[in-house]
Amino acid sequence: MNTLNFWLAGLPRWAKRWIMLTTDALALPMLMYLAFAIRLGLWLPPLSSHTILMLVLAPLISLPLLYLQGFYRTVVRFVGSEMAWIILGAATITALALGTILFMGRVAGVPRSVVIIFWALSILYLGGSRLLVRRYLAWALREVGERVPVAIYGAGDCGVQLAFALSQGSVYLPKVFVDDSPNLHDTVIQGIRVVGRNKLGSMLARHGIKTVLLAMPSVSRQSRLDVVHFLDNFDVQVKTVPGLPDVVSGKSRVEDVHDVDIEDLLGREAVPPDMDLLQASVTGRAVMVTGAGGSIGSELCRQILAQKPSRLVLFERGEYELYAIERELKQWMVTRKVTGIDLISELGSVASRAQVEHACRSHGVETLFHTAAYKHVPMVESNPIAGVENNIFGTYHTALAAQAAGVGRFVLISTDKAVRPTNVMGATKRFAEIILQALADRGGQTVFTMVRFGNVLGSSGSVVPLFRKQILAGGPVTLTHRKITRYFMTIPEAAQLVIQAGAMAQGGEVFVLDMGEPVRIYDLACNMIRLMGFSVRNNANPAGDIEVRITGLRPGEKLYEELLIGPDSTGTHHPMVMQAHEPHISWQEVVAILQMFEQALKVRDRRQLLSLLRRHVFGYQPAQPQADVVFLGERRQSRA
């Protein structure tokens, strides 16, 4: 049987078309003869000249009509409702033509009702035969080759489309639908049974299913997370279908299943942006982004470009990073036929006040987003001199350059690690906030503000790509502490909220983004292992695939992050943006402290820099002794 199935599947399209034409050419005269038999009540009605004429005319009229309407160009496996209209139209026109011939030709001995009976029989045959062939081909494809049996979670429109697409393919074989709607339980869709959660276990065992496909592209993140947690109870790999925007745009097909992105299950539901706030400080304006090639900087550039500024200045120290983001944005503009925006690349360092000021003046910058900073906690912990130079003095020089060039709005991208910091990175970012708060108090033309948030998914330092790489390598997945938690947000939403928060600034505000509930990283690692089709190896399951190994907290790392230094915060015009009210110091005090930092930098005195940070950054308490490791060109300091 498999040999026949392979032969049928391998026939060229023209051969299949001629087989159908030949079959119909033989069947239609037989249907006309059957119409005579039904009308006359005879098993074998006599073949008169008039009867033979009708047997010949039936295919001569029907087949050209069907062919011209594309009936024989349709792939039988994918026939749908449009086929019914073609059959109905061709059968009706054929019947009318035959009736006209009988009437105009005054053909005797042929009952007029024969035409009506033939009309009904031809519709039943043409439609029924194609449905039977489609059913046979679907069965034959199941028999040809080895296909993976799967359950589809979600029996809505997307799930039904997925089942149909997969049934025509050669990779997956849908065996059962799972849906949470009681109205669908124990129904049958496309020959596939729909069950509730309570029957999933028995269906998985009966059909040997090891893969569940999530066909719920439009449900909330919390609902998807609930389903994934439920599926943790079974030894199955979980995959998902593309989102509806990707399917509609043609970027993906509904049957392009892939691993569940853990990013889809983290954080809270994204909130649509307030378009007035999103456009207020960027649309039609000259905007500059420092650190434009970084994770946050590059996404800010994408979001800003979408709001059609008059000019976008990409300021970046890394040559390749600048080249990559410039090329991407230019391609985006070409693809979408966006014109009237000047895209300018500036290769420079925020540590150079002259470079930043020249870029702001020459391009008439009105809004500046300052994202350039060292953000990797262990690296900055080992290199406090570089951290102070880039995060503190880079912000200081960039802010003064923007003020001197008449920039209207300056937005600093800060971090939750600036709150009661336990590491050098957080302490330097907090002092960068202090600089801007003092500049705002001093007054002037430039509005200074800062936006504080936690981890973003997909950034260069995110744990998600690291965990994924470790799982694909066979493990172990390394984790610093079993109880460590972090906030998460997607990069696009963080960038949008930064732009909106910056538009609300009046001067000196510390805006804090709503990051949702914190995520326990151990649970994140275990979920990723299970979603990628593996099991967690632990005491309860020593035969598992991947181990989660605890390595101990790194220098400067703490178990949880905070977003507010004090308890005082208020809401803003945007539901996902809060404003923190925190103590700060005067500009004169800031200048005096910066002078002490400068003196320590001149002699590369790490201990003095760390002492100054402990003294002048509220709440800074190093979690562990400073590592005596030197990177980024720093000179090793003695511990004498």
Looking at per-residue confidence, does 135 or 124 come out higher? 124
Question: In this predicted model, what pLDDT tens digit does every residue of 184-240 receive, in sequence order?
Answer: 998 988 888 999 999 999 999 998 998 898 888 777 777 887 888 888 888 888 888
Helix%, strand%, coil% for the chain, nearest 5: 50, 15, 35
Per domain, the residue ranges of the chain are: 2-142, 148-260, 281-464+484-517+560-616
At 32, list the tokens: 């006309």
Neighbouring-strand partners of residue 510 = 450, 580
CA distance 407 to 412: 14
Q: Which among 239, 417, 429, 558 is annotated as catalytic? A: 417
342 pLDDT higher than 60: yes
What's the CA angle centered on 493, arms 398 and 367, to 5 degrees? 30
CATH homologous superfamily for 148-260?
A: NAD(P)-binding Rossmann-like Domain (3.40.50.720)
Average pLDDT over residues 251-261: 61
When pLDDT is cut at 50, 70 and 90, the band that residue 1 belongs to is: very low
40-54, 80-94, 286-300, 409-423, range with the lowest pLDDT:
80-94
293-299 average pLDDT score: 92
Given a cut of 70, is residue 29 above it in pLDDT?
yes
Structure confidence at residue 569 as a pLDDT band (50, 70, 90):
low
Output the CATH code of domain 281-464+484-517+560-616. Answer: 3.40.50.720
d(CA 397, CA 402): 9
Confidence class for position 590, pLDDT limits 50, 70, 90: very high
Annotated catalytic, 417?
yes
Kindly state the helix (H) or strand (E) to which residue 435 belongs, with its residue range: helix 424-442
Contact 322, 292 (CB under 8 A): yes
Instruction: Give the CA distances from residue 118 to residues 26, 57, 92, 391, in Å, rounded to whole numbers and listed in that order.
Output: 15, 12, 10, 86
Decide: 260 and 228 in contact? Cβ < 8 Å. Answer: yes
Residue 593: per-residue pLDDT: 96
Do 148-260 and 281-464+484-517+560-616 show the same overall fold?
yes
Q: When comparing pLDDT for 552 and 326, which is higher? A: 326
User: Percent of the chain having pLDDT more than 90?
Assistant: 35
pLDDT per position as a tens digit, 141-176: 555 556 788 999 988 888 888 887 787 666 788 899
* Token pair 């906690």 in the structure block, residue: 377
